[in-house]
Structure 1
Amino acid sequence: MTNYVGKSVKRIDAYEKVTGKAVYATDVATQAKNAVYMHALTSPYAHAKIKKLDLSKAEKAPGVVGIITGDEPGANWELFPKDAVLAQNNEVIWAGQIIALVAAETLEQAKDAIELIDIEYEVLPHVLTYWDAIKADTPSVIDPMFGKRNTASDRPMDEVKNRKSPNVVGSFKLDTGNVDEAMKTADVIIERDFYTGKKTASQLETPLAVCEYDPCGKLTIRSNGMGIHGVVKMGLSKMIGVPENKLRVLAPVSGGSFGARLACIMEVLVAMMARKVKRTVVYRLTREQQFTTAPSNWPVITKVKLGAKKDGTIVALDFYVGEEIGAAINNTYFTGRMAASGANPVYNWGEARIDAEAVTTNTVPAAEYRGLGVPESEFALENAISELADKLGMSQVEIRQKNFIKRDERDCVGEVVTSTGISKCLDAVANSIKVDEPSVQDGTVWKRGKGIAAGGKQNTPLGRAEVKINFNSDGTVTLLLSSDENGMGATTALKQMAAELLKMDIDNIEVLARDTDATPYDNYGASSRTTYTTGNAVKAAALDLVKNLREAVGREIGVHPMNIEIEGTKAIIKGYQKKEIEIASLFRPVNFFEQGNYGMMKGTPVVGYGVYCPAPVLQWGEDGRCDRQWNWYQFAATAVEVAVNEETGQVKVLKYACAADTGNPINPKLVEGQIEGGVMMAIGFAVTEDHYYDNNGKIWNANLGDYRIPTILDVPKADDTYSHICPDSLPDGPWGAKGMAESITIAPGPAIAEAIYQAVGVRVDSYPMTAEKVLKLIKEKKAKEAGK
């Protein structure tokens, strides 16, 4: 078999994982030699001055080898504000912020030494919500000394337009120009506010990093982070001043990411300590610290005003997005633009005005998380469209199909949407759940309803990917790459692409991955970019290898390369008496007694090299519009049937159908896995997950007992789930493929919200849609009806 693209090839890491032989970062930490272990002193307050910090007793404690604080010399914080990592200037700005790190011979000794640190606080007022943070008289969350420049976008914070509070630290605006006039022509207007709470990625393996130190000063880091080249190595070199040739980064098997591992914090801290104590350092966050110290996503406040004609044609959108980004200013402009972009690719709004702001609060800093704000913003938009359909007496499918952007049409930003399978996705899930047919009720307190929603998300046109392919002298092939593998099966899909182009048995290809001393550059695997960006680099490398093999074989046998074809391990000679030649037979042993050796020599592979860089963003106009804002868009739709207990408010998702536009899928089974996992995560987003705070501003549900991620008992049975692939080929994707994992999390939430409305007649306007919220709305509805 040599046709692999489009086939459900078995994952190349499946055996190691199911047999327990896969080496995770946890295993690396357990097996570390001559290691010391770090533990952190973290703030119990959301905002406080540190009046006293005495480390003397801790420094003398048994087993302690080193302590670092925010005053540690040698750090150049170019990529992250200092406050995102260690407390600065004797001030803490969120509960869980690291104040000091102790390294000791054992973890228990490090914990004991933390108890010996003498610290006194002066508790200061804190702000935990958007509504408090945007008040004009609210003190600045971020020290003004940090606040002159947004490090991610290099956009001066003082240029934020119409800043109403010192905590508004980033903004984005888009205006097509005629929203107010278009809104006047609307027959129906929907105007509502929405809120989505703060969530933690909750990977089963908590953040962990190991840094080895050798006597020559080289640091070797293994972590469950992301982006070994583009994030960790390049970031560390700048931040702690270590030359790139003194840094090696390797990625063990990852215990989950969902984007949240992109923040290069654990790696910075172990590297700083290893350089200080000249030992191998292990640092792992506790489960509680995963919630209180590691970055999480951001709550989003949205205000929607949507106008439409009687026939369902949308004529205008006025949309505000406010993000609570926690206690850091990194990425503020960029993330606001990303969240607001949820309004871009799916619908033709007629005229559109979008206003996004990033607002700091005394909570855990925000970072990348699956969907990067788009599921939150589209929760509002999809709910508004569902309500619009109900007001107009139209079906939920009809109103969406009427307003979808078609392939090669421009969105409200002005960018051409070159691939969209959203129409097919919507029809597929509608048919599976039969959303136009009312739910059958069973006469109990559990009332059933159905809902449907659609969604789309952009891909970020940043960075590049490089891939190298070696054709070895024994006829085997080695594929060298550095793209992240966080459990999604990307490495399998990339190997399939190489095998397809080389016309080679896939088992003849070995993958060497994620070692900065051996594998070529790749930025990172966030924004669903691996299939597209690294896939195109694999394609370029394979074509380059075929070209180089034709030339090498031609030189050896005296035939022009144009008369040679490469098929797996063989060279096919056209018009030559020997039709097929095993390429390995042409590699000659090295003769040590010849003065010059040339040609194909044993031990020296023929190499193919590929680089892919997406086209850059074009300059933005003053109105926020441009011809190229993103690479491409991914789309998905979901339909659900739920049951709502009208006496308790409890919501159960009974059935779901989800369809994804992946472009042409490289491995359909991997896509199905992403769909199933994404829907489960989205159910958690929508129904159960949130942060709750005590009076000191500390998260009190920072554990997997009180922070409720869905379990197998909370989701539909396998027989009641439907996964569909509805491809629309991406013109510049490898084999027409594109990423899809983030779009899956967009539509389930608003589909559940509409299903709740169909079941019990109440509209929930915030995540999570808990039993308490739903029951309150049911009681209010009954009281209003009784008042009539």
Structure 2
Amino acid sequence: MEGLIGKSEIRIDAYDKVTGKGLYASDYVNQFPVLAHMKALRSPYAHAKIKKLDISKAKALDGVIYIMTGDEPGIDWDQYPKAAIIAKDETLWAGQMVALVCAETKEIAENAVELIKVDYEKLPAVLDYYAAINPNPVSVIDPEYETRPLGFSDRPGDRASNRVSPNVVGAFKMHAGDVPAAMEKAEVIVEGEFWTGKKTASPLECANAICRYDSDGGITMWSNGAGVHGVIKQGICRILGIKESMVRVIQPYMGGSFGSRLNPYVEIITALMCLRTKRTVSFQFNREEVFTGAPSNWPCITKVKLGAMKDGTIVANDYYLAEEIGACVNNTFFSGRLSSSGVIPVYRFPNLRMDTCAVATNTVPAAEYRGLGCPESEFGIECLVNQLADELGISPVEIRMKNIIDKGERDAHGELITSIGLKKCLQSVADAVKVEEEPEQDTGVWKKGRGCAVGGKQNTPLGRSEAEVWYNSDGSIQLFISCDENGMGATTALAQIAANEFHVPLSEIKVTKGDTAITPYDNYSASSRTTYNTGNAVKLACEDAIAKLKEEVARVYGLHPSKVEIRGRKAILSGSYIQEADIPSLFKPTSMFTQGNWGLQKGTPVVGHGLFCPAPIHQWDEKGLSDRVWNWFQYSAAAVEVAVNEETGQVKVLKIASSADTGNPINPKLVEVQIEGGVHMAIGFSINEEHIFNEDGKIANANFSDYRLPTILDMPTNENVHAFINPDPLPDGPHGAKGMAESITIPVGPAIAHAIYKAVGVRVTGYPMTAERILALINEKKAKEAAK
């Protein structure tokens, strides 16, 4: 049959999901006749001392099984410093757990929480970068930072040097060329300070876990968390000191993630409660807890200065990045270093001075969020590239075409670029929206503008991926994988790779996924690694099984394995009087009454194993340079047309085109809907979404009524949303494929910002670009014009 790579096959999980037959993790609450329920008491203050905690009345309530506090023994948080889920002596953010109740019913647990009495002493808090960066801040998040080991995150350069504040808790620098000298020679210089807000990934399914106490003293967990092996199981075993053989983790269907389920705090605390009570327990977050108890993104402050020649050639980039990491100092390696590295592989920067730091605040801890900080870190650069084009009288497309790095060149890190289709991406979106033409203006208060931007993101080396393939005696094929199916269709793409290798229809591949007792090791689905890592592992597993089949069939017919081709249930033979053999009929009988030496001696199933581990990276030198830092890079471009209301500041996105360099797409339709979903998400956080804090530092809009997620009414109509695929094959990707889910969100914000400038003449320096902020800029512009 024709190969399946590049075919838009229907998702293998489509029927389960559209009919409601598929079970998500939260559905498992109804699968247990007896189930204990957990409920948390959370701090109402961003920073407070716990003077007294009285759980006596709650403990006495009929139906209460166990109450856990910060004094709970048996938790080794050394691997996650300052990330203790339950506060002990003081709370570091509004929403941190102070106590955790386990009771016979959900209602009893909620009532017990109401009976817990806490005497707080409210303390000063730092809620943003500017307060935290003060040399003498009113709150120091991690006083032991200088002396405490950093655990698993420790890397050279993680220790912040030249700390201007005790809340600076991580640093990274990358210096290439001579920025001061290049700036002296530059004919045009543009610079600015930019900011992005704090936001929450909002999958439809809230964080949840169910943990069963097994008869042998082990535990079995059902969770919508990511990484059954590499995150959840290892996290539980490492923090709670449990043998890996005693922990089983199963991942049902996930109701989305966007990075929010990559930290196993829910699973660890649920496992501990299960072990304490020896009961099957359930911990189900509500929507407010997703905002206050689950990780947010990393808000950024960037200070950028670009030097260029009059023809638009960029000669220098002086770049400073500070990322707010919230109240848990456990991600300083990832923050700054990874998000800022997305800046590097996009443009030629012959002279680049990049200095980054992580800043702790009394806010909900920050962690992985779609794009891993790149939408935030690249916003300022893209805004300045557009400003540079405006000042030089060059189109925003032309200036990018002049400066975008080409395949075969080395970026500022010194790393060779082996796959980049960004110029094709940019041209396709620019043509679709007609960025280089002026839109027709209507009369009235709505003014139109068009803008574009590009983005890039690295793929982070995140360990090995494994896959297993079984070729059964009846010719059926099973694929065993442990990657996460966040909802993007990865399982279908991986099954397509397997079906392509065996030359069978997709329906012939039975997939078993996400069960640590059955499926082989994988780390987790993050940094757009699934197609690349797990896809390669699947391909290798198929090749291994096919090689074993060829060897056995060749032995039966006295042929060399090279004379055998496996096509589903058939073996095509060369150099034999039999041209085609039915493989299932060749399997050796296993009955004790059968004798003889015919058939496939290795029995059934024939098992193929694939292990893929990316090539090792090379450590940065003292300047942050290396010839291999990441596995590969993903790229995207966006162009938009917006309308801005001059009287209210409201922004409407009228048209949007987005394009991704995916390498060779395994399933083009899945890529297209990923692009459309990424655009929708990026419009939301560019225009609407942000945390609003009350006077106690608590998120005041921790619900879908006040936290403005975009609805269908905020999106352009279908005919005005364009998704393009502009592949440039990745040499070591499976069939040339690579991931693309994160880069889609990067260019949308700066494209909207430039379109706003084109519409009403105001430059936006941060997002979300709310109506209030845009109106303030318009009024400021009017006031300046009136004062002339």
Structure 2 length as normaliser, TM-score? 0.98
2:426 match: 426
In 2, distance between residues paired with 1:32 and 1:439? Answer: 59
- CA displacement 1:150-192 (0-9 Å, x = unmatched): 2342148994111111110000001114000000111110110
Q: Secondary structure of 1:713's partner?
A: helix
Q: Secondary structure at the match of 2:636?
A: strand
Residues 588 and 598 in structure 2, CA contact (< 8 A), matched pair in contact too: no
Deviations 1:432-471 (A, max 9, x none): 0011110111101000000000011000012110000000
Q: Is the contact made by 2:77 and 2:84 (CA closer than 8 Å) also made in structure 1?
A: no
C-alpha contact 1:198 1:690 (8 A) present in aligned 2: yes
Shift in Å, 1:595: 9.2
Letter of the structure 1 residue corresponding to residue 765 of structure 2: D
Q: 1:660, 1:675 within 8 Å by CA — same for their partners in 2? A: yes
Structure 1, gaps ≥5 residues long: none
Say whether 1:403 aligns with 2:389: no
Deviations 1:114-151 (A, max 9, x none): 11112101111110011111111115533434662323
Amino acid at match of 2:46: A
5 Å-filtered alignment, 1:611-760, equals 611-760=611-760
Alignment size in residue pairs: 787
Deviation at 1:604, TM superposition (A): 2.5
Q: 2:461 — aligned with what?
A: 461
CA contact (8 A) 1:65 1:277 kept: yes
Q: Distance in 2 between matches of 1:444 and 1:326?
A: 44
1:144 is matched with which residue? Answer: 143
Using the alignment, how far apart are the partners of 1:575 and 1:598 within structure 2?
Answer: 20
Q: Is the 8 Å Cα contact of residues 84 and 327 (structure 1) preserved in structure 2? A: no
Give the Cα separation in 1 of the matches to 2:284 and 2:216. 26
SS in 1 for 2:268: helix
Who is 1:305 aligned against?
Answer: 305
- Structure 2 vs 1, CA of residues 35 and 595 (structure 1 numbering), >3 Å: closer, same or farther? farther
- Return the letter of the residue paired with 2:644: V
**Aligned residues of 1:590 and 1:597 also touching (Cα < 8 A):** no
Instruction: Tell me the equivalent position of 1:98.
Output: 97
Give the structure 1 partner of residue 65 of structure 2: 65
Deviation readout 1:358-412 (Å, 9 max, x if unpaired): 0000000001000011000111110000000000000010000000000011111
In the TM superposition, residue 560 of structure 1 has moved relative to its aligned partner by 2.8
Matches within 5 A, 1:178-189: 178-189=178-189
Write the distance in 2 (CA, Å) between the matches of 1:339 and 1:602: 49
Equivalent AA in structure 2 for residue 114 of structure 1: V
Q: Which SS does the other structure have where 1:109 is aligned?
A: helix
Q: Which aligned pairs between 1:327-406 and structure 2 lie closer than 5 A?
A: 327-406=327-406
Displacement of 1:564: 1.5
2:205 is the counterpart of 1:205:
yes
Rounded Cα–Cα distance in structure 2 between residues aligned with 1:33 and 1:552: 49
- 1:62 counterpart letter in structure 2: D
Alignment RMSD (CA, Å): 1.5
2:261 counterpart SS class: helix
Aligned partners of 1:682, 1:206: CA distance in 2, in Å?
20
Give the aligned residue type for 1:103. Answer: C
**Structure 2 matches for 1:98-497, cutoff 5 A?**
98-139=97-138, 141-145=140-144, 148-155=148-155, 159-497=159-497
Separation in 2 of the partners of 1:95 and 1:757?
37
Does the CA-based 8 Å contact 1:591-1:597 persist in structure 2? Answer: no
Contact 1:199 1:691 in 2 (8 A): yes
Q: Distance in 2 between matches of 1:722 and 1:387?
A: 25
2:44 maps to amino acid: P
Question: Aligned partner of 2:115: which letter?
Answer: L
Shift of 1:298: 1.5
Distance in 2 separating the partners of 1:157 and 1:116: 47
Shift of 1:578: 1.2
Q: In 1, distance between residues paired with 2:28 and 2:580?
A: 47
% same residue: 59
Distance 1:337 1:622, change over 3 A: same
How many Å apart are 1:601 and its aligned residue? 6.8
CA distance in 2, matches of 1:248, 1:317: 49
CA-to-partner distance for each residue in 1:54-87, whole Å, 9 max, x for gaps? 1111111121001112221111224423534221
In structure 1, give the amino acid aligned to 2:453: A
Range moving further from structure 2, 360-369 or 129-138: 129-138
Distance 1:599 1:327 in 2: 64
* Range with bigger deviation, 246-255 or 61-70: 61-70
- Aligned residue type for 1:124: L
Distance across 2 between alignment mates of 1:576 and 1:215: 56
> SS in structure 2 opposite 1:499?
helix
Contact 1:680–1:710 (CA<8 Å) still a contact in 2?
yes
Contact 1:150 1:331 in 2 (8 A): no
SS of the residue corresponding to residue 355 of structure 1 reads strand
SS in 1 for 2:499: helix
Q: Name the CA shift for 1:156/1:626 in 2 (closer, same or farther; >3 Å).
A: closer
Change (3 A) 1:140 1:630: farther
- For 1:98, give the aligned amino acid: M
Task: Return the alpha-carbon distance in structure 1 between the equivalents of residues 156 and 455 of structure 2.
Answer: 33
Q: Which runs of 5+ in 2 are unaligned?
A: none
TM-score, structure 1 as length reference: 0.98
Kept after mapping to 2: 8 A contact 1:2/1:505: no
Distance 1:181 1:546 in 2: 59
Aligned to 1:8: 8
